[in-house]
Amino acid sequence: MTVKINKNETEVEEGLTAEQLLASRGNPRAAIWVNGKQLLKAEYGSHVIQPGDEIKILRIAAGG
Amino acid sequence: MWKNAKILYVDLTERTARTEELDAETWRKYPGGSALGMYLMLKGMYPAAGPLTPENMLIFSVSPLTGLPVSGLSRMCVTTKSPLTGTAGDSQVGGFIPAHLAASGYASVVITGKADAPVYLYIDKEKVEIKDAGELWGMTTDQAEEAIARELSGEKTESSIIGPAGENLVKYAAIIHMKSRANGRNGTGAVMGSKNLKALVVKRQQMPKPFDKEGLKTLTGNVKERIAANQTMVDTALHGSAICVDAHAAEGFLPSFNWEAGIMDDWQSTAGTTITETVLKERDTCFGCAVRCKGVVEIEGKVDPKFGGPEYETCSTFGSYCGNSNLEDICLANQLCNMYGIDTISCGATIAWAMECYEKGILTANDTDGIDLKFGNGKSFGALIKKIAYREAGIGNLLAEGSALAAKAFGQAAEDLVVATKGQEWPAHMVQFKPNLAVNYAVNNFGADHQSSEHDPALMAPEDDQNWAWPNLLAKFEKVDGYGILDDNKAKFAFVTQKFYSMMDTLCLCQFVWGPAWQLYGPEDLILLCKYATGWDTSIEELQEIGERRLVMMRMFNAKTGFGRKDDSLPKKALLPITDSAGDTHQLTAEGFEAALDSYYSYAGWNAKTGVPTKETLSRLGLEWL
């Protein structure tokens, strides 16, 4: 299925959870927004990605 | 490219100004920022001098790169002996004054002595005047900036100004530029106040041209595309540093309730994305920067956009640290700190400490002038900040000392709640989550600082990611899988990236734009920048050595007054277990920290017992004279 990740159209497996998506990209602890709503880490394992979702993945390392 | 550098010396006691040249060879070893500042302090003052005495030096420095029309190059460093920590002091500011000070022709402006009445310093290249500031004394930073502009009508100037907090020697008073940028940390504003110096005013100048304009274009001409390709930069440009609230809270590592927890309910109200959606008026910039990360907020009738907006640290210290989820209170606190000239990190953190003391009965209403200091009472900020700025008798004068000193009046129970190292309150990055910062916060020469080494997540990044690739240009690290790991690899990471950050504070680079991991430009870009901008053929090795030399000079300055390993310590709260939002618990141990500290000293070439650099290390860095 097709989703948008950081504005780029990307093919991902159906039924993928947010946790699995992040792990597949090598960033299991990154912050993630799905259709504008940010998920808490506790939700990563249960939130299933849907076709057409607009996803933002952000890994903030430092700053302030 | 290395020519002699010009240093401006201003003696406020004698009301004289003179220039001296620093030879090119020395300039290359200490090429600006706080490396040059420390060099001048070590040559020019006794380390044991009191921070608020005329003998202390207050030094504003830039670098050979400052003022070029490239993103992230307009930073100015203030170096002095800090009244908050008693150590070497260091703080950077962005905006426009760095570029114009550099264009004035000076590498450093060195202030010594004390004026017998309030003054401000005016610089227009060789024309240097010590002007009367009697009318300005007592004004807030915005009032003073506007009054100076009126007095110098017809001239375009940039100013760095202290407010009432600096005048009243608040230990964490800041120097404010453009009403919204701060040399925030280490109490540099109090040193300025102790000298009766209200402002540094620089006339705007024509900027210098780069050494190789066409070459520079090949590095920076595609900056917009480069920002668009880096998601961290996209979010920094869109939400500013406050986006860190979102990222840290999602994981459960947002310091909350004076570091008792890693999350608070309703943190979303204080998130960077919420600020963008609700109170953000516009984004502002520093000279020549395409990132435009500076947020400007407005709340009609309450918060004036001329004071900018809260950065991540301010959102945290006046937000989650205090258990406060009211964004309006945070924005107002930010405005008041900028008006009065106060560091938002130390101020918010000190109030959070007082709140926990109040909750636990260590402080009572008798101590707080009747102010209800329960966690969550953001409505107390307005009164508290004003009392601090004016050192009003009671809670104001107490909190104006900072949490570490204030706690001494209330015994061990109060001291156990302080979250500071060397007297400086911790910034909002939890060491249970990023343990390399436990080492960095402890050893850092001017107290805990989050911008003095790269943060741990870079070591967990995928191998094809710049977050992994760039640090590994500096040294080879082992991949890390998971949080809470503090070992030899992390100690090495702390030291190696600390050298890089130290070099950036020497060359006066913005650490959101230049850096060794997630930033817009990396180490190899920096080599090209030096070449195209100034004709300086350098290497990662030379740049790392420049950074290390600065660290060792600061270390030696401190060692001369008795600082050493005993001061490289963690507050008790750093060893508390923290449960993240996924339910996993992370905890550092005292033994693990001490072992990492041993590793750090070994990498740094410092004596493990004393924490002081060895003779061999001094010799390797050309610092035998120390």
What single string gives the DSSP state of each residue in B38-55?
Answer: HHHHHHHS-TTS-TTSTT
Burial group, residue B564, by CB count within 10 angstroms (0-12, 13-18, 19+): middle
The C-alpha angle with vertex B573 and arms to B365 and B184, in degrees rounded to 5, equals 75
Q: What residues contact residue B232 under an 8 Å CB cut-off, 6+ apart?
A: A58, A59, A60, A61, B518, B519
What is the average pLDDT across B379-389? 98
Does residue A27 have a pLDDT over 80? Answer: no
Report yes or no: B251 at the A interface, CB cutoff 8 Å: yes
Structural domains of chain B, ranges and CATH numbers in brackets: 5-203 (3.60.9.10), 222-425 (1.10.569.10), 436-506+539-620 (1.10.599.10)
pLDDT for A61 equals 61
Structure token digits, residue B62: 């830039």
From the candidates B248, B317, B344, B581, which should be mutated to test the interface with A, based on the most A CB atoms within 10 A?
B581
B518 and A29 within 8 Å at the Cβ level: the answer is no
CB-based contacts of B279: which residues, under 8 Å, 6+ apart?
Answer: B297, B298, B299, B303, B309, B327, B328, B331
Contact B232 A44 (CB under 8 A): no
Tokens representing B441 are 């916060």
* Contact across the interface for A62 and B518, Cβ inside 8 Å: yes
- Cβ–Cβ under 8 Å, residues B462 and A25: yes
Taking the Cβ of residue B243 and every Cβ of chain A, the question of whether any pair is shorter than 8 Å is answered with yes
Q: What are the φ/ψ torsions at residue B540 (nearest 5 degrees)?
A: -60, -40
> Among A25, A26, A38, whose Cβ lies nearest the Cβ of B250?
A38
Instruction: Give the model's confidence band at B285: pLDDT under 50 very low, under 70 low, under 90 confident, else very high.
Output: very high
Q: What is the mean pLDDT of chain B?
A: 96
Q: Which of B560, B52, B459 minimizes the C-alpha distance to A29?
A: B459
CATH number of A2-57: 3.10.20.30
B425 contacts B419 by C-beta, under 8 angstroms: yes
**pLDDT (tens digit per residue) in B556-604:** 999 999 999 999 999 999 999 998 877 889 999 999 999 999 999 999 9
Cβ-defined contact of A59 to B311 (cutoff 8 Å): no
Q: Is B125 left (phi over 0), alpha (psi -120 to 50) or beta?
A: left
| Res. B302 pLDDT band, cuts 50 70 90 | very high
Parallel/antiparallel/unpaired status of strands B280-284 and B175-177: unpaired
Mean pLDDT within B74-92: 98
What integer pLDDT is reported at residue A63 of this predicted model? 60
Give the residue among B209, B256, B219, B190 at the shortest CA–CA distance from B402: B190
Q: Hey, is the C-beta of A4 within 8 angstroms of any chain B C-beta?
A: no
Phi first, then psi: give them for residue B202, nearest 5 degrees.
-120, 125
CB-CB under 8 Å, B429 with A59: no
The pLDDT assigned to B235 comes to 87
Half-sphere exposure of B91 (CA within 13 A, CB side): 31
Chain A hits for B451, CB-CB cut-off 8 Å, are 62, 64
Mean pLDDT on B18-28: 97
Give the model's confidence band at B382: pLDDT under 50 very low, under 70 low, under 90 confident, else very high.
very high
- B243 and A6: CB-CB below 8 Å? no
Per-residue pLDDT of B491-545, as tens digits, reads: 999 999 999 999 999 999 999 999 999 999 999 999 999 999 999 999 999 999 9
Q: Which chain B residues are Cβ-neighbours of A64 within 8 angstroms?
A: 241, 244, 311-313, 316, 427-429, 450-451
Chain A positions touching B273 (Cβ under 8 A) are 38
Q: For B252, which residue in chain A has the nearest alpha carbon? A: A41
Is the Cβ of A37 closer than 8 Å to some Cβ of chain B? no
Nearest beta carbon to residue A6 from set B231, B252, B483: B231
- Is the interface score ipTM higher than 0.90? no
Is-contact B561 B47, C-beta < 8 A?
yes
Instruction: Provide the number of CB pairs (under 8 Å) joining chain A to chain B.
Output: 92
Query: pTM, whole model, 2 decimals?
Result: 0.95
Residue whose C-alpha is closest to residue B5's, from B41, B30, B34: B30
Of A25 and B469, more confident:
B469
Domain coordinates in residue numbering, chain A: 2-57
**Over residues B241-246, mean pLDDT:** 92
Answer whether B539 touches A (CB < 8 Å). Answer: no
Give the β-pairing of B76-81 and B5-11: unpaired
Q: Which of A4-13, A51-60, B136-145, B153-162 has the lowest mean pLDDT?
A: A51-60
For residue A60, pLDDT beyond 70: no
Nearest CA in chain A to B263: A40
Which of B427, B430, B433, B565 shows the shortest CA–CA distance to B486?
A: B433
Smallest Cβ distance to A64: which of B231, B251, B313?
Answer: B313
3-state secondary structure of B155: coil
DSSP-assigned letter for residue B458: G
pLDDT of amino acid B460? 87
In the predicted model, is pLDDT for residue A22 greater than 80?
Answer: yes
pLDDT at B415: 98
- For residue B154, pLDDT over 90 is answered with no
CB contact under 8 A, B243 and A41: no
Contacts with B364 (C-beta within 8 Å, 6 or more apart), sequence order: B358
Residue A28 pLDDT greater than 90, yes or no? no
Distances (CA, A) of B169 to A11, B54, B83, B158, B342: 60, 14, 9, 24, 11
Contact between B241 and A64 under an 8 Å Cβ cutoff? The reply is yes
How many Cα atoms within 13 Å fall on the side-chain side of residue B50?
A: 9
For chain B positions 258-297, those within 8 Å of chain A (CB to CB) are 268, 271, 273
Both tokens of residue A2?
């097709």
**Residues contacting B63, CB < 8 A, separation 6+:** B31, B32, B33, B36, B102, B107, B506, B507, B508
Q: What is the mean pLDDT of residues B137-165?
A: 96
**In this predicted structure, what is the pLDDT of residue B123?**
98
Query: What is the separation of C-alpha B350 from the centre of its chain, rounded to a whole number of angstroms?
Result: 17
pLDDT top residue among A26 and B395? B395
> Which of the four pLDDT bands, split at 50, 70 and 90, describes residue B550?
very high
pLDDT at A62: 61
H helix count then E strand count, chain A: 1, 5
CA distances from B506 to B344, B347, B480 (A): 24, 27, 30
Q: pLDDT at position A24, please? A: 87
CB A10 within 8 A of CB A2: yes
Q: Where are the beta strands (DSSP E) in B465-616?
A: 578-579, 585-586
Determine the pLDDT at residue B23.
97
Query: What is the mean pLDDT of the segment spanning B359-374?
Result: 98
- pLDDT tens for each residue of B188-204: 999 999 999 999 999 99
Whether the CB-CB separation of B292 and B239 falls below 8 Å is answered with no
pLDDT at residue B218, as a whole number: 97
Please say if the pLDDT value at position B416 is more than 80: yes
| Cα distance between residue B221 and residue B380, in whole Å | 48
pLDDT of residue B459: 92
CA distances B423 to B61, B337, B345, Å, are 25, 20, 13
Q: Are B235 and B520 in contact (CB under 8 A)?
A: no
